Amino acid sequence: MSKFVGRTVLFGVPLLLLVIISLGVFITLAANAPQAERAEQEIRPAAVFVTEAEASPVQLTVRTQGEVTALIEIDLTAQVSGRVAYMNPNFVQGGFFEAGEVLVRLEDQDYRLAVTRAEAQVAQRRQALIREQAESELARQEWEAIGRGEATPLTLREPQMADARAQLAAAEAGLAEARLNLSRTRISAPFSGRVRDKLVDLGQFVGPGARLGRVFATETVQVRLPLSDREIALLNMPAAFQASADNPGPQVMLSAQSGGVMRQWRGEVVRTDAAINPQTRTLGVFVEVRDPYGAAADEAGAPLAVGQFVEAVIQGRQISDAIVLPRRALRGTGQMFVAERDGTLSVRDVQIIDSTPERVVVASGVAAGDRVITSTVRAAAHGMPVTALDPDGEPLPQDSRAEPGAPRDQTPSVAAAGR
């Protein structure tokens, strides 16, 4: 046992001394090691492209879509019966016709005979009236020669005279009716137009009220355009609008693809719809285009055809002093970034009057002279440092006297107009 204790002491004491010496060396080296210096991270301003806001006149516009329809479209119907004896060569689908031009004629022999009979009846009744007038005059003369006092109406044959006049009037009415029925065998339209549908053909028998075809007038066509309440405000037009010589409606440019080419036609707003559509909550405005197949056709002679789907650009009100900026300057639906003169970014809430894929018209939030950022800004935050670049990529000078975060007048002159 004593030998084991002696060996433990003999080997353990040097090992313990080695551990103590190693620990002391490590502590000494750690205490004398050089300390790492903390370097302050330098924040570099983000380079952004800007455009300077300018106040200028602007014409507001409203873009919408609609379908061309005929202003006047009717069914041709027969008022008398008969067999179709004549068809106008223009009475075909797509055919043109003039006002009053006979499109369909029915057999009229029966109606001519009816006119002849009515004329004979009138001649008989007229002779009967002349005879009664002569007899009445004779009776009056006889009474004046032999009678005493005042003669009675029956003595003077006044009731017979009244009956003869009534019989003549009835015969003349029958003649007028016979002639009217004869004229109704010739069927025409009271306007110049085109044929949409033809429903009868030569030799077919038709009765009163039978539909012969459908036609529409080509003098004027119309387009119904749905507009929201905001768009109506851009036009500065009341909800109950009716154009007149003293109060003309806004001008409209209609466009559509026709034959692989973009065509354009000019029209005018003439009235608004009677009520708001309960499903879409929009109010329809009607645009009329006069002579769409003639004078209103575009420079290449392409007509504005009924049934065509068109894009419409309506001229709105004129603003004399507005802030107009590129569409890419808009962030989200109502914000813009402005590079302040002190080199910081400012997040502005803006009110938009009008917007298109190319531009936005600002009512408030940005003033003339502001440097509006048009390029992408990553992790944008209010007050972050930025370097403003012009469209050519050249840095713009900063105003060192400007205080960071100093408020600016953010209400342009167009703000009142935008409301």
Question: What are the Cα distances from residue 247, in Å, to 144, 268, 269, 274?
Answer: 74, 12, 11, 19
Residue 176 and residue 181: Cα distance in Å, rounded?
Answer: 9
**CA–CA–CA angle 361, 365, 366 (5° rounding):** 65
The dihedral through the CA atoms of 336, 340, 345, 346 has a sign that is negative
What was the pLDDT predicted at 300? Answer: 58
Q: Which residues contact 40 (CB under 8 A, 6 or more apart)?
A: none
pTM (2 d.p.): 0.68
> What spatial distance separates the first Cα and last Cα of the chain, rounded to whole Å?
107
Exposure on the CB side of residue 384, measured as CA atoms within 13 A: 15
Cβ(206)–Cβ(295) under 8 Å? no
Compute the distance between CA of residue 365 and CA of residue 345 in angstroms, rounded to an integer: 14
Q: 177 vs 65, 173, 181, 182, 219, CA distance in Å?
A: 50, 6, 6, 9, 33
Spatial contact of 222 and 304, defined as CB atoms under 8 Å apart: no
**CA separation for the pair 338, 386 (Å, rounded):** 10
pLDDT value at residue 41: 58
Dist. CA 135–CA 157, nearest whole Å: 8
Looking at residue 122, its amino acid is V
How confident is the model at residue 169, as a pLDDT?
A: 93
Name the CATH architecture for the domain at 73-107+186-218: Beta Barrel (2.40)
Which two three-digit tokens encode residue 51?
């455009």
Neighbours of 265 (CB within 10 A): 24
Q: Which CATH architecture has domain 62-70+219-318?
A: Beta Barrel (2.40)
| CA pair distance 217, 96, nearest whole angstrom | 10
CA distances from 285 to 5, 38, 71, 199 (A): 114, 71, 14, 33
- DSSP three-state, residue 129: helix
Nearest CA among 253, 290, 250, 295 for reference residue 270: 250
Nearest to 265 by CA among 246, 236, 293: 293
Q: What is the dihedral of CA 163, 167, 168, 169, to 10 degrees?
A: 100
CA distances from 74 to 85, 181, 193 (A): 22, 21, 11
Strands 283-290 and 261-272: antiparallel
Q: What is the CATH number assigned to the segment(s) 48-58+320-418? A: 2.40.420.20
How far is 419 from 416, CA to CA, in rounded Å? Answer: 5
Nearest to 220 by CA among 271, 291, 268: 291
Q: DSSP states of 200-237 as a string?
A: --TT-EE-TT-EEEEEEESSEEEEEEEE-HHHHHHHT-
- Is residue 212 within 8 Å of 92, Cβ to Cβ? no
C-alpha span between 183 and 105 (Å, rounded):
10
**In which residue are the tokens 């440092």 written?**
385
Read off the tokens for 83.
Answer: 């067999």
**Residue 101 in 3-state DSSP?**
coil
Q: Where exactly are the structural domains of the chain? A: 48-58+320-418, 62-70+219-318, 73-107+186-218, 108-184
| Pairing mode, strands 386-389 and 46-52 | parallel
Query: How much is the pLDDT for 43?
Result: 67
CA–CA separation, 248 and 234 (whole Å): 16
Query: Which residues of the chain fall short of a pLDDT of 70?
Result: 1-16, 19, 24-26, 29-43, 147-149, 296, 298-300, 400-419
The per-residue pLDDT for 418 is 36
Nearest to 241 by CA among 223, 265, 222, 268: 268
